[in-house]
Amino acid sequence: ASLLSFDIVHVYVFPWCKNCGLVFLAKVMLLSFSMASLFAAPGGGVIQGTASEAVLVVLLAARDRTLKKHGKKSLEKLVVYASDQTHSALQKACQVAGIFPENFRVVKADCSKNYAVAPEAVSEAISVDLSSGLIPFFICATVGTTSSSAVDPLPELGNIAQGHDMWFHIDAAYAGSACMCPEYRHHLDGVEKADSFNMNAHKWFLTNFDCSLLWVKDRSYLVEALSTNPEFLKNKASQANSVVDFKDWQIPLGRRFRSLKLWMVLRLYGVENLQSYIRKHIQLAEHFEQLVLSDSRFEVVTPRLFSLVCFRLLPPTSEYEGGRQLNYDLMDAANSSGKIFISHTVLAGKFVLRFAVGAPLTEEQHVDAAWKLLQDEATKLSGSA
C-alpha cells in the first residue's frame, strides 16, 4: 500500500512526468541508487526503446563528459572496457559514438566464474592503456549475460571505474527483472557505484516491446550530450525550465507513450504477482535443469542463476569438434518440430544449447514435453550416429 501511495504522489506531483511507472519500478526494485536517480536529485530515469539505445545514449554522455575534461581532440584516445560476454549492443554503440575500433577493449570472461569478468583483468587492461597514454573512460558490466546469464562483479568494477573517473554502466537487460524479488536483489549489490543502469521491461516484465528502462545518476551529462534547442520547440514551459524535456535524453525528438503500458502492467499485476511470475519461471528452469542432470547423455554447462539453462548433449569422445554438429542437429530437430524453440551459443569452444523460460503461459507440463522432445531427438541422433 505504501508503494501505491508513493505512486499516486508521483502522479499528482509530477503530472508531466511520462515516466512515473519508472519511478515506481525503481522503488519496487529498491535500487540502491534509486534515490540518487530520482528527479529530485541530480539523476533521473527515461524509457528508451531498447537496451541498445540506452547504452548508446549513456556512452555519448560519458564520451562528452570525458572530452570536456581532456579536450575534443582526445577522441582517438578514449577506451571502452567490457567482457567478451557483453552484448554486441555496446560494440554497436561504440561504432555510432565514434570510439576508435581499436579502443574497444574486450576482456576475456573467467570461465571458472561462470563467465563473469575478472576485475583484475579489467584493471590490468586499464593499466596497460594508461601507460600507453590512452584514456580509459567507460566500463560496461552485465547482470545476466546473454549467453549464460553470468553476473559481473559490480562492486569491484564500480570501484575500478570510480578510481579512474570512468563512467560505470550496468546492462541488466534480461536479469534486472529478477532483482524485483528480494532473494535475487543481491545480484545488484554495487549498483550504487553505477552512473547508469538499464533493464528491459520488454524482456521479462510482461511489457510488450519496446520498453527499456534507463536510470542515470546525473542527468546533466545526458542532457549536455544530447540537447538541442531549435526555435520551433521553444515554449513558455521549456524556456522557464519547468519541464523535463525527454528529447534531450534520447536520440529521437518524438516519444511514444511507453510508460502507459508499463504503468498498466504494474497496476494490473502488482508487486506480488510480478514477483511470483519471476519465481515461477526460475522454478521451471530449475526443474528443467534437474531433468538434464538426470540423463547422463547430457551435461549442464554453466550453473543456472535465473531462468536460462545452458546444456548440451555430450559428444562421443571421438568427436573432434566438441559436439558442435551433434548439438546443432539436436537444436535443429527440436526447432523444426515447431513445438519448441531453443537457441544456442558458444562458451569456451563448446556449442551450447539455451533453454529459457520466459513466456507467461509456460507450465511444468510444457517443460516436461520439451524435455521429452529433446530426449527423443537425442535418441534418434545417437541411433543414426
Task: List, in order, residues 6 or more apart from 95 with CB less than 8 Å away.
Answer: 101
CB of 42 to ligand PLP, least distance (A): 26
The amino acid sitting at 99 is I
Cα(66)–Cα(224) distance, integer angstroms: 12
Cα(112)–Cα(210) distance, integer angstroms: 35
CB of 27 to ligand PLP, least distance (A): 23
The interface with ligand PLP within residues 74-93 (CB under 6 A) comprises 87, 89
CB of 158 to ligand PLP, least distance (A): 18
Cβ count near 76 (within 10 Å): 12
CB of 177 to ligand PLP, least distance (A): 12
Which C-beta is closer to ligand PLP: that of 135 or that of 356? 356
- Which among 166-174, 307-315, 351-359, 375-383 is the span making contact with ligand PLP, rule CB under 6 A? 166-174
Provide the residue count of the chain. 385
Please report whether residue 50 would count as binding ligand PLP according to CB under 6 A: yes
- Which among 47-55, 98-106, 130-138, 373-381 is the span making contact with ligand PLP, rule CB under 6 A? 47-55
Question: In the β-sheet with 343-347, what is the strand arrangement from edge to edge?
Answer: 298-300, 308-313, 350-356, 343-347
Which C-beta is closer to ligand PLP: that of 123 or that of 149? 149
Q: Which candidate, 303, 304, 312, 300, places its Cα nearest to that of 351?
A: 312
Please report whether residue 200 would count as binding ligand PLP according to CB under 6 A: yes
Please report whether residue 129 would count as binding ligand PLP according to CB under 6 A: no
The interface with ligand PLP within residues 14-43 (CB under 6 A) comprises none
Per-residue CA distances from 365 to 284, 340, 370 (Å): 10, 13, 9
Cβ count near 172 (within 10 Å): 28
Per-residue CA distances from 118 to 180, 335, 379 (Å): 26, 35, 39
CB of 281 to ligand PLP, least distance (A): 15
Answer for which of 20, 97, 173, 374 binds ligand PLP (CB under 6 A) is: 173
Please report whether residue 216 would count as binding ligand PLP according to CB under 6 A: no
Using CB under 6 A, list all residues that contact ligand PLP: 50-52, 87, 89, 142, 146, 171, 173-174, 200, 212
